[in-house]
Structures are given as C-alpha cells and as structure tokens.
Amino acid sequence: MTEATDDELMVQVRDGDVAPLGALFERHQVPLYNFFLRLTGRAAISEDLVQEVFLRVLKYRHTYRGQGQFRTWLYQIARTARADHYRKRWRETELADDKAAALPSLGPMASDLLETAQDAALLRAALDRLPGDKREVLVLSRYHEMRYEEIGRVLGCTEGTVKVRVHRAIKELRDIYRQMVRERRV
C-alpha cells in the first residue's frame, strides 16, 4: 500500500480530520527547522517558528486549495511567520548562547576531521553573512531540492528572477567564503 501524499493528508486536515497533521509534522519538521535555522541562526527561535507554522496550518487549513502544492503553501506560511516574528520581536534581545546552540555538534574532534569541521563551520558562518534574501533563495534551492519554478511560487516571483538571484547569491557567498578563508590563514 502506498503512503499518502502530503497533498492527500492536507486535504483530510482541511476537510476536518486534523489527525493526519501529525504525519505532515513528521515529514516536514526537520526541513522546516533547518530552513529557519539557516535563516535565523537561532535554535530556539527556529523551534518557535516551526510551532507557529503548524499552528497557522491548522488555523488557515480551509484556505488550502490542494493541487499537489502542499510544500509551496507550507513555505509561504513559513516565510510569513518569520517576517511576522521579526516585526513583533525586533526589540527583543536574544540569549548569547543561543547562537552557539544553533550550530550542530561537531562530534568527536579527531584531528583528521578537525579541518573539515572548521571548513564547514566557516562556510556556515559565510552563509550567515549573506544578506537575508540571498540566503533564503540559496537555502531553498540547495537544501530543499526545490525547482526554480517552485521557489518562484514560494517567493512570489518569476522563475527567471529566481535564477538570477541564485546566481548572485552563490557568487556573493563564494566571495565572502574566500575572504573568510584568507582571514583565517592570516
């Protein structure tokens, strides 16, 4: 028996049976969490935002149109939730250790793995330095396996615009990363 698609589950939720939302949460909580984590750099805020997204999915379930576009709809909600969060909390100060908590553990520090881990940390830091809109388009295209057309639907722009933005973003990231590598060597 084949597993129900996201769209089929969400249609059930929309039609009044909220239980399948549990399966949607299982499928999307980690990608959504990482989407927020890569954009905010903060673990606690990312978890809050995932929770907020699923609350909004419940609240606005009747607006879901189906047509196999659950993920697009979910990430549109995610973007709005994030924007609302920063509008509401822009004055709130974050705990200093939150940033550190955002980074996944590097695991055992064997010497042969250390440099790789440092490179990864440096690349992550370079990604953090990228302007928010560029980081967002890069995260969606690299980590969520979204085609440019789908990213365009999430961001509300054309596929051509997405391509231009991805190209600019990856070039800027390369420049930032190279600069940081040079700084580390000095």
Measure Cα distances from 142 to 7, 111, 148 in Å: 23, 29, 11
Q: Tokens in use for 32? A: 């959504």
Smallest distance, another protein to C-beta of residue 23, A: 12
Smallest distance, another protein to C-beta of residue 141, A: 5
**Residue linked to tokens 């924007």:** 83
Is residue 37 a contact point for another protein (CB under 8 A)?
yes
Is residue 104 a contact point for another protein (CB under 8 A)?
yes
Is residue 74 a contact point for another protein (CB under 8 A)?
no
Q: For the beta carbon of residue 105, count every other beta carbon within 10 angstroms.
A: 6
Chosen residue from 9, 102, 154, 155 binding another protein by CB under 8 A: 102
Cα–Cα distance for residue pair 16/21, rounded to 1 Å: 11
Rounded to 5°, angle at Cα 47 from 87 and 82 = 25
Instruction: Tell me, by CB under 8 A, how many residues bind another protein.
Output: 51
Given the complex with another protein, which of 33 and 72 has the nearer CB atom? 33
Write out the binding residues for another protein, residues 145-174 only, by CB under 8 A. Answer: 145-148, 163, 166-167, 170-171, 173-174
Given the complex with another protein, which of 1 and 139 has the nearer CB atom? 139
Cα–Cα distance for residue pair 151/11, rounded to 1 Å: 22
Cα–Cα distance for residue pair 41/33, rounded to 1 Å: 11
Cα–Cα distance for residue pair 175/127, rounded to 1 Å: 11
Smallest distance, another protein to C-beta of residue 16, A: 9
Given the complex with another protein, which of 129 and 147 has the nearer CB atom? 147
End-to-end CA distance of the chain: 59
Contact indicator for 70, 7 with CB cutoff of 8 Å: yes
Smallest distance, another protein to C-beta of residue 67, A: 21
Residues in contact with another protein by CB under 8 A are: 18, 21-22, 25, 29-31, 33-34, 37, 43-44, 46-48, 50-51, 54-55, 58-59, 92-93, 95, 97-98, 101-104, 119-120, 123-124, 127, 138, 141-143, 145-148, 163, 166-167, 170-171, 173-174, 177
